[in-house]
């Protein structure tokens, strides 16, 4: 058991390094971050100073080492869009994310267990086969597509369910749980 755990830990480290390389590469090819920070009429000297302060004038391996070391210490820098520390943005949105994840996990477990028990006890019934088909489709489809289809079903087709617009993290101003309802 210890050997298995050790192998998995080593694999997890390898996966984190691979994800770090991929995300660093994606940020490198997404464009110049200085263009997102400054306006169009910013002088070349100011752009060069910002580039130096961000470490973008360092060689790529040095940039990657800084990126990976900072990410390992949960230092994600400042958001170019919101001009706030990324760690603060993550902390602000964490309660709503955890609430959603926990509720989804509980619902999936309850419905999954109920469907599995029913399908095992009533193996050859039409409902059991329908439940198995639904679970197979649910596993096969990408989650983003299932999400879009469920939003369409509950917000458009059924039209009785409220839609959430301008969702904020828990505790902010707005409707219940910090969400404001959009007009139907």
The reply to whether 61 and 125 lie within a common domain is no
Percent of the chain with pLDDT over 70: 86
Instruction: Could you list the beta-strand ranges (E) of 20-95.
Output: none
Let me know if 132 is exposed, middle or buried by CB neighbors in 10 A (0-12, 13-18, 19+). Answer: middle
Q: Does 81 map to a domain?
A: no
- With 80 as the cut, is the pLDDT of residue 45 above it? yes
The reply to whether 108 and 157 lie within a common domain is no
Average pLDDT over residues 81-87: 87
CA distances from 102 to 36, 95, 105 (A): 35, 10, 5
- State the residue range of the domain holding 128: 87-140
Question: Where residue 171 falls among pLDDT bands split at 50, 70, 90?
Answer: very low
Neighbours of 180 (CB within 10 A): 14
Higher pLDDT, 79 or 14: 14
Which pLDDT does position 164 carry in this prediction?
A: 59
Q: Does 82 map to a domain?
A: no
Q: What's the distance, Cα to Cα, between the start and end of the chain in Å?
A: 55
The reply to whether 110 and 135 lie within a common domain is yes
Tokens of 15: 């996966």
- With 50 as the cut, is the pLDDT of residue 173 above it? no
- With 50 as the cut, is the pLDDT of residue 180 above it? no
The reply to whether 60 and 112 lie within a common domain is no
Q: Does 21 map to a domain?
A: yes
- With 80 as the cut, is the pLDDT of residue 101 above it? yes
Q: Name which of 24, 45, 29, 38 is nearest 83 in CA terms.
A: 38
Average pLDDT over residues 151-161: 80
Domain count, the chain: 3
- pTM here is 0.59
């Amino acid at each position: 058991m210890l050997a298995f755990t050790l192998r998995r830990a080593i694999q997890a480290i390898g996966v984190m390094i691979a994800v770090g390389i991929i995300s660093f590469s994606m940020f490198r090819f997404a464009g110049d971050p200085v263009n997102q920070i400054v306006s169009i009429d910013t002088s070349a000297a100011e752009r060069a100073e910002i580039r130096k302060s961000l470490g973008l004038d360092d060689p790529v391996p040095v940039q990657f080492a800084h990126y990976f070391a900072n990410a390992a210490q949960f230092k994600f820098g400042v958001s170019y869009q919101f001009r706030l520390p990324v760690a603060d943005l993550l902390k602000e949105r964490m309660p709503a994310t955890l609430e959603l994840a926990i509720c989804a996990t509980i619902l999936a477990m309850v419905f999954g267990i109920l469907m599995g028990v029913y399908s095992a006890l009533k193996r050859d019934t039409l409902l059991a086969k329908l439940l198995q088909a639904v679970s197979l489709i649910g596993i096969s489809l990408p989650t983003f597509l299932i999400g879009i289809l469920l939003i369409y079903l509950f917000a458009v087709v059924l039209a009785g369910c409220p839609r959430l617009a301008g969702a904020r993290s828990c505790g902010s101003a707005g409707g219940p749980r910090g969400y404001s309802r959009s007009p139907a």
